[in-house]
Amino acid sequence: MSEPKGRCKKMVVDRNSRMWRQVQCSRNATKDGFCGIHQPSAEAQRRAIVDARWRAERDLLVKQRTISQAERRVIDAAGAWRDKPWTDDDVEVSMLADAIDALRKAKKE
């Protein structure tokens, strides 16, 4: 066993002061001069969790936006088709089909 290592060497914001200043962490050092909270590996692990959560939120927002845009295309294409149901020109029908395909793809991704 190693001898007592004293206090954690991490500087933290002093919560007892009204002024912004840093003080040394008051916990006892458990390894490499840091307490359990301020272990570089523990900090990296917490950062990785926060980063992963942030990425997941961002990916969800991108997906929701892509779906909304695809839905808008379907509505527009359906509107164009509805306005000209008599025409032999099947441009509107193929536009609608493309928009539906894009929406299905966006929902799957």
Q: Any contact of residue 10 with Zn ion (CB under 5 A)?
A: yes
Comparing CB distances to Zn ion, the nearer of 27 and 31 is: 27
Q: Which of 51, 5, 7 is nearest to 27 (CA)?
A: 7
Comparing CB distances to Zn ion, the nearer of 42 and 67 is: 42
Q: Any contact of residue 35 with Zn ion (CB under 5 A)?
A: yes
CB of 35 to Zn ion, least distance (A): 3
Identify how many contiguous H helices and E strands the chain contains and give both numbers. 2, 2
- Helix 40-83 vs helix 91-108: crossing angle, to nearest 10: 160
Distance CA 12, CA 31 (A): 18
Tell me which of 5, 27, 95, 100 binds Zn ion, using CB under 5 A: 27
Distance CA 10, CA 27 (A): 10
Q: Any contact of residue 73 with Zn ion (CB under 5 A)?
A: no
Q: Two tokens at 57?
A: 């939120």
Tell me which of 5, 25, 30, 67 binds Zn ion, using CB under 5 A: 25
Count of residues that bind Zn ion according to CB under 5 A: 6
Give the residues lining the site for Zn ion (CB under 5 A): 8, 10, 25, 27, 35, 38
